[in-house]
Amino acid sequence: MIRLDNVTKIYARGAKPALDTVSVDIARGDFVFLVGSSGSGKSTFLKLILREERPTTGDVYVAGRHLNKLSSWRVPHLRREIGAVFQDFRLLPNKTVYQNVAFALEVIGKSRSQVRATVPEMLDLVGLAGKEKRLPHELSGGEQQRVAIARAFVNHPPILLCDEPTGNLDPGTSIGIMRLLDRINRTGTTVLMATHDDEIVDQMRKRVIELRGGELVRDQDRGVYGLERV
């Protein structure tokens, strides 16, 4: 589903590579944690998959597409196959919960009837039924992140990218979010989650990919956050 072949990314000429000959293969339906300290290359990894950046050398394949050869007008189609969730939620403050989720469908040209059918179902899935008319600032952090997940998943993309989705949440709330992501993963969706949250990684016991200084230092099934704790 996602494959990086000897990928190196250098932002400025002569600078240290943000990613250094990284090769990773993520199969359909995998749940993968991407761990590493700030500056280890996690963000670059995600940006390459979203094709916000292109690799300096090496090849990137996502959802059957060779991103190196993908023309820029096809990029929107790639992004429809990837749901993205961020640490800062990125909700539209002047739109209600329902409108925020519907927005993602409207702007890719879905019909009104499709929107009406899908959005309530999705809000039900993330546990926000009954809060459709709330505005983001009337919700707790966890609830806001659920809206963001609903928005990312409303189009049923085969891939869900999460960049520190629990970074702004307390541990109890984080567990709820992880349960939700796990549930989405069980529908066959590939989930790739970049995180600093060692407790969550340790609890979930999923595949762990660790980056350090741009290099892949670990790719381990049923892994934990820190190597020293294995």
Partner 1 sequence: MRLRFITGEVFNGLRRNLTMALSVVLVTFVSLTFVGAAALIQMQLGQLKDDWYGKVEVSIFLCPENSRYEQCAVGAVTVDQENQIRAVLEDGPVASIVDTIYYESREAAYENFVKHDQQGISQLLTPEQMQPSFRVKLKDPEQFQVVADATARLPGVEVVQDQREIFSQLFTFLNAATLVAAALAAIMLLAAMLLITTTIRLSALSRRRETTIMRMVGSSRSLIQMPFMLEGAVAATLGAGLAIAGLWAGVRYLVADWLSSSVTWVTYVGESDVWTVAPWLLMIAVLLATVSSVVTLGKYTRA
Q: Name residues contacting partner 1, limited to 145-164 (CB under 8 A).
A: 151-152, 155
For partner 1, the closer CB: 18 or 84: 84
| 109 is a site residue for partner 1 (CB under 8 A) | yes
Name the minimum Å distance from CB 187 to partner 1: 19
Contact, 163 vs 43, CB < 8 A? Answer: yes
14 is a site residue for partner 1 (CB under 8 A): no
Measured distance CA(49)–CA(35) in Å, rounded: 16
Applying CB under 8 A, the site for partner 1 has a residue count of: 27
Nearest to 218 by CA among 89, 35, 74: 35
| CB-based burial label for 3 (10 Å; 0-12, 13-18, 19+) | middle
CA distance 200 to 172: 11
Closest approach of Cβ 220 to partner 1, in Å? 30
Q: Please give the angle made by the CA atoms of 33, 173 and 100, to the nearest 5 degrees.
A: 85
Q: Rule CB under 8 A: say whether 38 interacts with partner 1.
A: no
Give, as one character, the DSSP assignment of residue 16. P
What are the tokens at 76?
Answer: 């929107």
* Residue 110 sits in the site that holds partner 1 (CB under 8 A): yes
User: Per-residue x/- marks for partner 1, 39-58, CB under 8 A?
Assistant: -----------x--------
Residue 88 in the binding site for partner 1 (CB under 8 A) = no
CB of 121 to partner 1, least distance (A): 17
How far apart are alpha carbons 1 and 111 in whole angstroms? 28
In the complex, the residues that contact partner 1 under the rule CB under 8 A are 50, 72-73, 75-82, 84, 90, 92, 103-104, 106-112, 115, 151-152, 155
